[in-house]
Amino acid sequence: MEIKIGIQHTARELSLESNQPPADVEAAIAAALKDGGVLTLVDDKDRKVLVPAEKIAYIELGEPTGRRVGFGAI
């Protein structure tokens, strides 16, 4: 699963790939935002990513899509 996190007052977004089930990721996000604590996620290389909940601007969840190549739209 691809996760993109926008952080307040930061020009770039935090992007990571995770092998965690989508339900677990959504539960972790909801718990962090509810408690105002720290969002903790694990990426596909088993590294922990910690983001303070009060600094989160937005979160995008989804599957990575392949890049389009060529001039025509298919």
Length of the chain as a residue count:
74
- Residue 21 in any domain: the answer is yes
- Residue 10 in any domain: the answer is yes
- ∠ CA 26-27-30, nearest 5°, is 85
Q: What is the pLDDT of residues 40-64, one digit of tens each?
A: 999 999 999 999 999 999 999 987 6
Domain that holds residue 25: 2-62
Task: Indicate whether 70 pLDDT > 80.
Answer: no
Check which CATH number belongs to the domain holding 57 and give it.
2.30.30
Q: What is the pLDDT of residues 6-34, one digit of tens each?
A: 999 999 999 999 999 999 999 999 999 99
Instruction: Count structural domains, the chain.
Output: 1
Task: Give the pLDDT of residue 63.
Answer: 79
pTM: 0.79
- Residue 71 in any domain: the answer is no
Task: Indicate whether 72 pLDDT > 90.
Answer: no
1 and 15 in contact (C-beta within 8 Å)?
no
Q: What CA–CA distance (Å, rounded) separates 50 from 64?
A: 22
